[in-house]
A = this chain, B = another copy of it.
């Protein structure tokens, strides 16, 4: 039994008034009652409670049925699973991906702390992609049925939820622009700048960070092969735009990176 699991057991507390039913554990991921609610969570400026008043945040906490620990490489949910809840990343890093029959995998997103996963499942009432942890992670389980009810009574929550969905749509538009009209180096530059920005928004360094995904996963997300990603990294390093050593990346010249996007050839 590893230390994470021990910690998770120690953390079990009756926090939610009346959990309606059990959430099935998948793989070795573990389900725990939440001990720290949204009000104490340091992500409340980024996550669902963003913009809500203290009283409202207390109510929003009731949404969180439990928290799930997911170890590196394991699934939070899989394509085809029944849809019951959304997930907010509490800690760690996830990827979501779609598969083609022949095994080709397209990564559709990387999620970091405070971001919401699973919204594509609402329509079909079934998850349509796989969510896998890129490192040992935790996700808050947001029961969708409760979210529906609660957001009818809390306009602020309703608004925030709609904005979260809307931003997911807008984000994907950006990815479509990237995949449909940018060249390999532009794609990687856009990707690095995006990561940098998101780390900075979480008060981590936006200038120096560790990639949680492999070159192959970056390639899958960007519609490139891993060798092409690797070559682009090397080229950026030669040009003094970044420093790379395996997964450790330093952004040396963010302006230079921005300049390479959106100007066609050269």
Give the interface of A toward B (CB within 8 A): 98, 100-102, 104-106, 108, 119-124, 128-129, 148, 151-153, 155, 158-159, 162-170, 172-177, 179-182, 220-223, 261-264
Contact = CB atoms under 8 A, between A and B. Distances in A.
Contact of A177 (B100, B124, B263): B100
B106 A166 contact: no
B222 A180 contact: yes
Interface of A is mostly: helix
Contacts of A180: 106, 179, 220-223
Contact of A122 (B98, B162, B179): B162
Top 9 A-B pairs, shortest CB-CB distance: A122-B166, A180-B223, A179-B179, A123-B166, A172-B172, A123-B167, A120-B170, A100-B262, A106-B177
Contact of A173 (B120, B148, B151, B173): B120
A124 B170 contact: yes
Given A100-B177, A180-B220, 15 more contacts: A98-B173, A100-B262, A101-B262, A122-B165, A123-B162, A123-B163, A123-B166, A128-B173, A129-B173, A148-B158, A151-B152, A152-B152, A162-B165, A172-B173, A179-B223
B106 A176 contact: yes
A106 B223 contact: no
B108 A173 contact: yes
A264 B104 contact: yes
A263 B102 contact: yes
A177 B123 contact: no
